[in-house]
Amino acid sequence: MDLGTIANVATAMTVLVGVVFGLVEMRRARRDREERAAFAAVQAFMTPEWMSSSMIVHSIPKGTTAAQLENDPRLLEACLKIATIMEGIGYSVYARIVPLSVAADLIGGTARIAWQNFRPFVELERARAGTQKSWEWFQWLVEQLERHSVTKTNLKMGAQTVYRDWQP
């Protein structure tokens, strides 16, 4: 084997090792980004305002109309706070900043319930404004959760049941 062949083999090996290293680093960086995004998502809604607003939104009776929401400032304020956060999370999922699976695990149930309760108001606002832009990412998020949810939990079976046998 001559020196030129040895140099070519060494160059090819160096490139191959570099590509493998790059792929491993890309996977690690993606995992780190997902972990940071999940942490940021938790920070965004684990506030006293979120907690009190989500409890109010969860307790809205089925069949509550847009007019009833509009006429109750406390309910409307709670809905708007939750919807604003959901709008940001929805866009973050779309932009692939937050994985859908993370959103599903952390706020999937709340998003679905909040959308059910807030939807009449959103539809009224869209009709008034003549645009579909109002709360578009909130609606999109809920639709994606329904279509692609990979989580084992749902509105009928929570994490406490599904992951009962979890081991650290």
pTM of structure: 0.74
Q: How many CB atoms lie within 10 A of CB 134?
A: 18
Tell me the DSSP string of 11-42.
Answer: HHHHHHHHHHHHHHHHHHHHHHHHHHHHHHHH
**What is residue 120's three-state secondary structure?**
helix
pLDDT the model gives residue 98: 85
Alpha-helical runs (H) found in the chain: 3-45, 48-58, 66-70, 73-94, 100-129, 136-148, 159-162
User: Per-residue pLDDT for the chain (168 aa), expressed as one digit of tens each?
Assistant: 687 888 888 888 888 888 888 888 888 888 887 777 777 767 766 788 888 899 999 999 999 999 999 999 999 999 999 999 999 999 989 998 888 988 888 888 899 999 999 999 999 999 999 999 999 999 999 999 999 876 777 777 788 888 888 888
First to last CA, the chain: 54
